[in-house]
Amino acid sequence: MDQLTRLMPDEMVSVREVFNLDSDLKVAAFREADEHVPEVDPAYRFNHDVTLAILAAFTRNRRMLLQGLHGTGKSTHIEQVAARLNWPCVRVNLDGHINRLDLVGRDTVVLKDGKQITEFQEGIVPWAIQRPVALILDEYDAGRPDVMFVIQRLLERDGKMTLLDQNRVLDLHPGFRLFATANTVGLGNLNGMYHGVQRLNHAQIDRWNIVAALNHPPAEDEIGIVLARVPELDDAAGRKLVASMVAVAKLTRDGFRVGDLSTLMSPRTVITWAENIGIFGDAGKAFQLSFVNKCDEAEQPLIAEYFQRCFDRELEAPRTSVYLPAEPHPAAAFAVAAG
Amino acid sequence: MASLAEQTEQAETERAEASSRQLAAASLRRRKQTLELCAAAMRALSGQGRLHFRGPALYRESAPVPMPAPHLHPGTDSTDLDAFRGAADGMALRLQHSDAALHGSLCPVTPARMLVFEMLEQFRTESLVDAAMPGVRANLNRRFQQWSREFEASILADTDLGIILFTVAQVCRARITAEPMSPDFEARIESTRAELAPHLGTHLAALRRERFSQPGFARHALSIAETIAAISEVLEAREARPSRSGGRAPQFQLLFDQDSNDDAVPTAGYGGSDALDSGEGGYRRFTTAYDREFQATDLVRAELLCGYRQQLDDHIARQGINVPRLGRALGAVLSTAIHDGWDGDALEGRLDGSRLARLVTASGDRRVFRTERTEPRSDATVTFLVDCSGSMKEHSAAVAALVDVYARALELAGARCEVLGFTTAAWNGGRAGKDWIRAGRPPNPGRLNEVRQLVFKDADTPWRRARPAIAGLMKKDLFREGADGEAVDWACARLSGSSGNGGRGSNGSERRILLVVSDGSPMDGATALANDGHYLEQHLRDVVAAHEAAGTTEIFGLGVGLDLSPYYRRNISLDLSRGSSAAVVGQVLAMLAGRR
């Protein structure tokens, strides 16, 4: 229980220095890191608005929901802020199979001194709320309704948590912070891209103090992110290449928005593509293997068009398409004669 | 022997005709595919949805989007992807970077000024292409070079005015986009350029500088347009008609407006109808006294139907179409998930009372819940509306086969299917036409013919019972003329069951789909003569647009060797010259499965 002795953050750091953002804010941080503090990624690039929102959530104890399309780095963003504040941080993935007992804890049979006894084992939630820990609930909108109501009490800043099986009431630690990330804002799977997400109870959404959106970064930022991840491309030719890759990604996102595509390139895919260029030595080949093959066959000719626009060469691929009819059936030749 | 030679010759001719029809259909399909790809790329580039091509003209939903710059209109006979790419990219940039309202307010009205101003504005937007998209830049350049070569090869380039316009286009584009001018043209325009230089110099320099600001740019562009127009007026006054030199391309269009596009490929005709616009109360029927609705079995003798059915079955068997597979595919396309019963023994879900005892008898077993089961079920009605006009005669067997295969597959998929047809009872107006003549030929009488609506299979008759009636589609003497708009209205009304319970319609279906099989524009000789040539076309377009806007019915056009895009937003063209092959069936399926 040594963490319980570290009650609260013990120093103030300048946002300008630590996060390289244009702001005079000072935020609370811990002087020393412990085992739960994530690793600092020096290449990480912070989004200005979202970073300020996350810092507000840390410093002013606000509950924060971060929404955005897949692969935009929502959880990583919170983690990297926590890493620089030395704030311990735990991530829980709320997939459809996590149930209430997993979060709260349950009675289990254990051996103690050679005898079988039942003992209550705390779940992640009681553990986290008694410590100065930032709990990140990933895939918040995929969580099942019964799980949501466990969380509901935690969302109130001065809420207490009752363990019914134990007749215990737990106070929230003042250093406890709660974050969630989601692909949708609780409206459900509207565009068919996120199967398994739930429509959220509005009483839930209402209790989040800050709701921020992290979507695809502007092109210059995205180029920076990719170059930071794949530094071997960081020369004049490489920059040009990455700019074109990001332009393709943007076209897929616009194509998705207007309804031509059912898949879009996330920044994560762009990074994978850049890494695969190192392996296969050719942008077209790597594109085929990192993104095109994930798409519906009927949409591949269109993606090849996007590629042509940004690279001024054709994407060499088997361009099978539903628009082109298959070879006529051999028996079809008889039809004319008979008709 | 002579007859044998004659026969061989005839067979040869028929084969040649069939293969040329096939080639034309294939090239039409390739062209449509190219245009569709370009439109999709354009939607992504400009970030604006709902853009599509009708023929080669750009539309947003059902409103035309004017693209007057001359180099954005590649020749209609080219199926070359490059030409369309450049044009589509140019249009996308124009949509993205140019404010249409502002442009409209600035644009001059006389043709010469307008031409120059439109061209310069287009060059401005083309210069704003994203540096990360070298492909777009290359496409634009290729298209412009191609246009320049066509211009140079045309007789226009031999006139003084033509060469001035050509020079302005070359010099300004090179200046604005900072792309080097093609050396082939440099020599040709050298002297004209030197003459023009003192008039344009200052503005020319400002163009590139101001290219990020539309109003700033327009100031200089307007001055240039004014200068060119003044020169051209002087020239016109002084010069006689341009001399025609042999071997030059005779036609070269400079100013484009959407309606005047000559189109060499078979695109269904379209144009406005003055009679329909000016007539009070919109579309009219002169008399409906002779209009009849028939069951196909009433019109064709049972023995004849039996014979047709035999032919149809043979035809379908030869094509080797896998109907059960088509049924499964249609099931996947048309289904929606519905709740159907419960799955027990689950670890989560709703509490299942009948399993509660398990908690006591088997401790640790928590499988006491049940979850709702969802099953896909097709909840759709699909209507085939077959155009039974004279020109469809030669395709009647293929259409009957296509419709029959789909009727059976839809039934397997659990959807409802109707097969309808429309034609007229007589040629040239029939009794309605005679009545009109007797009434003293009043102007704008509206539709003049005896409309016949044919029901081959209604939604409640199972395919097995409707088999002979569907074969009635093969009776060629039913095929006369047709008024498509009224037929579409009729089919939509049947689909929504407006005669029945109202609300969601008597058939209560979730999806209502209408497939119109047609090979041409609506054609009725008497109506066209008494009103004007586009009367029925315009009505068809209005009807389809109204139903699409209402959103209750999805309407698809299946063109038989014809591009139906002027009428139907969702359309494909089919090649039925070899009958209804598996490829044709697959094309229709792909269209139904299409997301847009």
The per-residue pLDDT for range B342-366, each reduced to its tens digit, is 888 777 788 888 888 877 777 667 7
How close is the nearest chain A Cα to the Cα of B64, in Å?
A: 19
How close is the nearest chain B Cα to the Cα of A268, in Å?
A: 19
Distance linking the first and last C-alpha atoms of chain B? 58
- The strands making up B511-518's β-sheet, listed across from edge to edge, are B292-295, B451-457, B416-424, B380-387, B511-518, B554-560, B570-574
Q: What is the pLDDT of residue A275?
A: 93
Bigger pLDDT: B273 or B293?
Answer: B293
Q: Which two tokens stand for residue A200?
A: 């959220």
The answer, as to whether pTM is greater than 0.80, is no
Q: Are A248 and A306 in contact (CB under 8 A)?
A: yes
How does residue A287 score in pLDDT terms, banded at 50, 70 and 90?
Answer: very high
How many whole angstroms separate alpha carbon B378 and alpha carbon A73?
Answer: 39
Q: What is the pLDDT of residue B550?
A: 87
Whether residue B348 lies within 8 A of chain A, CB to CB, comes out as yes
Of A305, A322, A333, Cβ closest to residue B37: A305
Q: Are A265 and A215 in contact (CB under 8 A)?
A: no
Contact map slice: B 27-66 vs A, CB within 8 A: 29, 33, 36-38, 40-41, 43-45, 47-50
Phi, psi for residue A237 in degrees, rounded to 5 = -65, -40
Phi, psi for residue B343 in degrees, rounded to 5 = -105, 125
Of A252, A255, A312, Cβ closest to residue B43: A255
Phi, psi for residue B144 in degrees, rounded to 5 = -65, -40
Bigger pLDDT: A144 or A130?
Answer: A130
How many whole angstroms separate alpha carbon B589 and alpha carbon B596?
Answer: 14
ipTM of this predicted structure: 0.70
Q: Are A108 and A118 in contact (CB under 8 A)?
A: yes
Contact check, Cβ <8 Å, A247/B587: no
How close is the nearest chain A Cα to the Cα of B587, in Å?
A: 7
Q: What is the pLDDT of residue B121?
A: 92
Chain B neighbors of A287, CB-CB under 8 A = none
Q: Which two tokens stand for residue A333?
A: 């030749």
Chain A neighbors of B49, CB-CB under 8 A = 257-259
Q: Are B344 and B379 in contact (CB under 8 A)?
A: no
**Is the pLDDT reported for residue A32 higher than 70?**
yes
* pLDDT mean over B394-413: 91
Contact check, Cβ <8 Å, A332/B578: yes
Residue A163 CB neighbour total at 10 angstroms:
16
Q: Which residue of B has its CA nearest to A241?
A: B132
Chain B neighbors of A306, CB-CB under 8 A = 41, 44
Contact check, Cβ <8 Å, B44/A258: yes
Whether residue B583 lies within 8 A of chain A, CB to CB, comes out as yes
How many whole angstroms separate alpha carbon B81 and alpha carbon A308?
Answer: 12
**Is the pLDDT reported for residue A321 higher than 50?**
no
Q: What percent of chain B has pLDDT over 90?
A: 15
Whether residue B216 lies within 8 A of chain A, CB to CB, comes out as no
How does residue B83 score in pLDDT terms, banded at 50, 70 and 90?
Answer: confident
Q: What is the pLDDT of residue B246?
A: 41
How does residue A326 score in pLDDT terms, banded at 50, 70 and 90?
Answer: very low
Residue B384 CB neighbour total at 10 angstroms:
28
Phi, psi for residue A179 in degrees, rounded to 5 = -125, 155
Contact check, Cβ <8 Å, A338/B318: yes
Contact map slice: B 275-314 vs A, CB within 8 A: 311, 314
Chain A neighbors of B584, CB-CB under 8 A = 325
Q: What is the pLDDT of residue B251?
A: 53
How close is the nearest chain B Cα to the Cα of A11, in Å?
A: 45
Q: Which of B14, B31, B32, B43 to mutate to probe the A interface, most A CBs <10 Å? A: B43
Q: Which residue of A has its CA nearest to B585?
A: A325
Contact check, Cβ <8 Å, A243/B139: no
Residue B153: partners with Cβ closer than 8 Å, 6 or more residues away: B248, B249
Cross-strand bridge partners of residue A117: A110
Q: Are B464 and B470 in contact (CB under 8 A)?
A: no
